[in-house]
Structure 1
Amino acid sequence: MPDWLIATGLIGAVLFGLLSAFFPPLNAEIYALAAPVIFPDAWVLHVCAMTAGLVVGKMSHFVIADKGAEAYSRRREAKEAREAAEPRHPSGPIRGRLTRWSKAMIDVLDRPRLGPLVMLGSSAVGFPPLAVVTVAAGIKRVNMVLFFVVTTVGCLGRFIVTAWLVARGMSLGQ
């Protein structure tokens, strides 16, 4: 395969990862599935490049959430003050459970052992969704380096395993 095609593909991989961080229908797993088929000799490089783009995009979400945490706190306090003054309307049981689950997840993120496990699970398995965990970690002001490392390891592991399974399946089929 020509070097220029591999280089162009790497730039495309980074851009795909970056765009998938902002536009969920561009699913990063799809790229990991396609990389061994399109670039059979260099799929590891392409998956790493795509993961780098994805993590850079997620880091931008993290930073924005971190910077907006103070404004978020002020708005929430004002909302809670308004809600305390107004009569409460009953919410459904599903909404109540989701609210409790979201609060519990955010509360756990700043714990020294459970927080990184939630981040690793989110990036390696996809549950809870990485987009939600990213914003929640930014709001909780989790250590940025810790978030970056754990997210990179989890995402890279998930995408490398996915692409390896495709590459392995292709080699068994020949």
Structure 2
Amino acid sequence: MNDLLTVISALGFGVLSSIIPIFNSELYVGVVAAAAQPSTTVLAVIAMALGTVAGKVVLFVLARGGSQKLGVGKAQSRDSLPPPTSRIRLWIRQTGDLLLTWLGDPRLGPLTILAAAIFGIPPLFIVAVMAGVARQNIVLFSVAVFVGRLARFAMVALPIAYAAH
């Protein structure tokens, strides 16, 4: 029962940490890896990855719905945009445009999502929202997030589980 509770908790924490970024999923996986048996750790890593997908899909769907209502994500004329008031705003706008372009591409989109899920660059929270706005395929999005987060959590948990047991 304790192992089942650990796995269910990892699933729930995966959802929570994917929606509210102050909850650190890597730290949670590390603690589970140190405290639980290796077989439970493997199941918890899978559950955490699934929970992360569930939470990111919520962000994705909300961003997709909001972008439709607000008309965001459609090509806009540069003349219709307000002039940038600083170099930082210009950089943010250019970076956002580039990210939307990558995420809108059928080949670059999943690779960008995968990179964000594994390395955290660009941040997966932002990528999930931008992928929804860019109308990325939700199945490709979900698979890329799952594979990436599974790899990331395994990279955190396996060395700790090996050292602890």
TM-score, normalised to structure 1's length? 0.85
User: Alpha-carbon deviation of 1:77?
Assistant: 9.0
User: Alpha-carbon deviation of 1:33?
Assistant: 1.1
**Alignment correspondent of 1:148:** 142
CA pair 74-148 structure 1, distance change in 2 beyond 3 A: closer
User: Alpha-carbon deviation of 1:72?
Assistant: 2.6
Is residue 94 from structure 1 mapped to residue 88 from structure 2 by the alignment? yes
SS in 1 for 2:121: coil
SS in 2 for 1:98: helix
RMSD of aligned C-alpha atoms?
2.3
Distance in 2 between the 1:46 and 1:75 partners?
36
**Alignment correspondent of 2:47:** 49
4+ runs of 1 displaced by more than 6 Å? 74-78
User: Alpha-carbon deviation of 1:40?
Assistant: 2.4
- AA paired with 1:6? D
CA pair 76-62 structure 1, distance change in 2 beyond 3 A: same
Larger Rg: 1
How many residues of Structure 1 are paired with residues of Structure 2 in the alignment?
163
The share of aligned pairs that are identical, in percent, is 34
CA pair 141-100 structure 1, distance change in 2 beyond 3 A: same
TM-score, normalised to structure 2's length? 0.89
User: Alpha-carbon deviation of 1:83?
Assistant: 5.7
CA pair 98-148 structure 1, distance change in 2 beyond 3 A: same
SS in 1 for 2:5: helix
1:99-145 CA deviation, whole Å, 9 max, x = no partner?
A: 10111111111212211111110001111000111011101111110
